[in-house]
Amino acid sequence: MFGFTSWRRKRIAKRSFPQEWESILSENVSYIQHLPGGLQKKLKELITIFLNETNFEGCAGLEITDKIRVSIAAQACILILGTDDYSFVYNDLRSVLVYPKPYVAKIKNRNNSFFVEEGFQQRHGEAWSRGTIVLAWDQVQNGARDIHDGQNLVFHEFAHQLDYEYGATSQVEDEYEESQFLSWARVVGDEYQQFVSDLQRNRETLLDSYGATNLAEFFAVITECFFERPTELKNQHPKLYHQLSEFYRQDPETYIKS
Ligand SMILES: [Zn+2]
């Protein structure tokens, strides 16, 4: 049984990439035009596998089209271009739910053991640890349009999915105290603390302030910045850039010029 998934995926990856999907990519996901040729080819293989394995569901009356599926799959797979074979293509992900625009979620806050406060919150997207990602389609399109602003909803939510699958931030929480100066846990933990302190002192930051919410959001926000503003990230946070390039096994600074 071992290796069966990779074997099956290799066969699927060889399928020809439909011309209609090519047009969707060139019209909707301009990031791809910046990738070197070899990575463009690999991305198309990953998209084919991703779409073969992931269920899409339209919510609030949205009808799922190839434009929606291919645009989301392409951006999700940019994050995993560093994978050397087909053994990892979001293995724990099952479904992507897509709303036409930001949706309202019911939330509960437990103030103390007796009172639970209920409220409503508008959301652009979320990733559940059980293998579901929720996205607002208009926000997916906004994120894809400007590839240099460091804001990309698909990168953000799929970074959460990678975090669930690889334990990127739980490693920081568990190993920060004992970790080495140049390790993942030490660098990400130090950068997070520095970032929170910069915001408290009203210093200007490259990263979106939403990243200060917690370590998981910090990881999602640095991922957006790593892929969309790599030069600034490398100049201002070289150790963090280095750790992310090891994590993703990619060096976007070489092809994304701001
Ligand atoms: Zn998030």
Would you list the domain boundaries of the chain? 1-145, 167-258
Strand order in the sheet with 125-128: 55-58, 95-99, 132-136, 125-128
Burial of 197 (0-12, 13-18, 19+ CB in 10 A): exposed
Q: Identity (one letter) of the amino acid at 191?
A: E
CA of 212 to the centre of ligand 1 (A): 11
CA of 16 to the centre of ligand 1 (A): 34
The architecture that CATH gives domain 1-145 is Orthogonal Bundle (1.10)
Alpha-carbon distance of 182 to 188, in angstroms, equals 10
Q: Residue 154 corresponds to which tokens in the numbers above?
A: 């698909």
The predicted pLDDT at position 31 comes to: 97
**Percent of residues, the chain, with pLDDT higher than 70:** 96
Those residues with Cβ within 8 angstroms of residue 251's Cβ, 6 or more apart along the chain or in another chain: 230, 245
Task: Give the distance, in angstroms, between the CA of residue 103 and the centroid of all CA atoms in the same chain.
Answer: 20
DSSP annotation of 72: H
Query: Is 136 in a helix, a strand, or coil?
Result: strand
The predicted pLDDT at position 1 comes to: 46
Name which CATH class applies to 167-258. Answer: alpha beta
The predicted pLDDT at position 121 comes to: 86
CA of 146 to the centre of ligand 1 (A): 19
CA of 50 to the centre of ligand 1 (A): 21
CA of 208 to the centre of ligand 1 (A): 12
Cα separation values, 117 from 36, 104, 111, 155, 243, Å = 51, 16, 7, 31, 40
DSSP annotation of 62: P
- Which residues does the chain have with pLDDT short of 70? 1-2, 110-116, 258
Task: Give the distance, in angstroms, between the CA of residue 64 and the centroid of all CA atoms in the same chain.
Answer: 21
